[in-house]
Amino acid sequence: MGIPLIGDKVPQFEAQTTMGAINFPEDYRGKWIVLFSHPADFTPVCTSEFVAFAKRYEKFKELNTELIGLSIDQVFSHIKWTEWIKDKLGVEIPFPIIADNTGKVAGMFGMLHPEAAGSQTVRAVFVVDPEGIVRAIMYYPLSIGRNMDEILRLLKALQTSDREKVALPAGWPENELIGDRAIVPPATSEKEAKERLEAARRKELECYDWWFCHRKL
């Protein structure tokens, strides 16, 4: 099956998790969501990822964001694995993990690994906004763990862009050219292009040219 694209409504589903049944995305209305899949329970890379997500859970909460994990393992496997992580590593997993043992949800999101004959999910990340719209999608290979700080940065950038009506540069807020400043949307007419340069002369904006202007947030 195909995957929802950026800008699409996120697929709806009901599922069993380690914290009970959920109706997605209805149960998370008004919140941002990071829905992420992992290949399998009781595997080293996945364990390192879940510990990393758990250690940053409060940072996600501060961004009005809920985490939801998923693999096609049974719910009892998820529960036993999270117990192992708590007992052996001293980290409690504070977010639900979907037990998608039929592969139904993974199929909706294109998460099933083609080389694993449907027996594993890829490392996918879907960022969904409070309106239920897919805003970002990331995929990683089986052998490489994700960078949770980058996912946090992405969330902060999306929320800032929405709030301020701006674009944000590479590596924001530590961009090599403009630091933590925001990029003003490009001019859409000759008149607006001239107005941008005039605004730069008045020190209202800083511009490299009319098509590359930036401002403080």
Evaluate whether residue 1 is within a structural domain. no
Choosing from 146, 174, 198, the residue where a domain stops is: 146
Same domain, 27 and 99: yes
What value does the mean pLDDT of the chain take?
94
Same domain, 139 and 175: no
Among residues 54, 87, 69, 57, which one has the least CA distance to residue 16?
A: 69
Evaluate whether residue 169 is within a structural domain. yes
Evaluate whether residue 6 is within a structural domain. no
C-alpha to C-alpha distance for 176 and 58, rounded to whole angstroms? 29
Same domain, 174 and 108: no
Q: Which of helix, strand or coil describes residue 187? A: coil
Same domain, 96 and 140: yes
Same domain, 53 and 80: yes
| Residue in 46, 93, 111, 125 annotated catalytic | 46
Evaluate whether residue 151 is within a structural domain. no
Q: What is the mean pLDDT of residues 90-119?
A: 86
C-alpha to C-alpha distance for 34 and 68, rounded to whole angstroms? 6
Q: What is the mean pLDDT of residues 181-208?
A: 93
Q: pTM higher than 0.95 for the full model? A: no
CATH of the domain at 21: 3.40.30.10
Does position 115 have pLDDT exceeding 80, yes or no?
A: no
Starting at the edge strand found earlier in the chain, the sheet holding 206-209 runs: 182-183, 212-215, 206-209
- Phi, psi for 39 (deg, rounded to 5): -60, -45
- Which burial class, exposed, middle or buried, applies to 50 when counting CB atoms under 10 A from its CB (0-12, 13-18, 19+)? buried
> How many domains does the chain divide into?
2
C-alpha to C-alpha distance for 90 and 88, rounded to whole angstroms? 6
* Cα angle, residue 195 at apex, residues 193 and 197 outer, rounded to 5°: 75
Which residue segment(s) compose the domain that 195 sits in?
A: 165-217
Same domain, 116 and 179: no
Q: Enumerate the H helices of the chain as residue ranges.
A: 44-55, 57-62, 75-89, 104-108, 148-164, 190-201
Same domain, 29 and 135: yes
Same domain, 135 and 182: no
Q: What is the mean pLDDT of residues 64-74?
A: 97
Q: Tell me whether residue 213 is one of the annotated catalytic residues.
A: no
Same domain, 85 and 24: yes
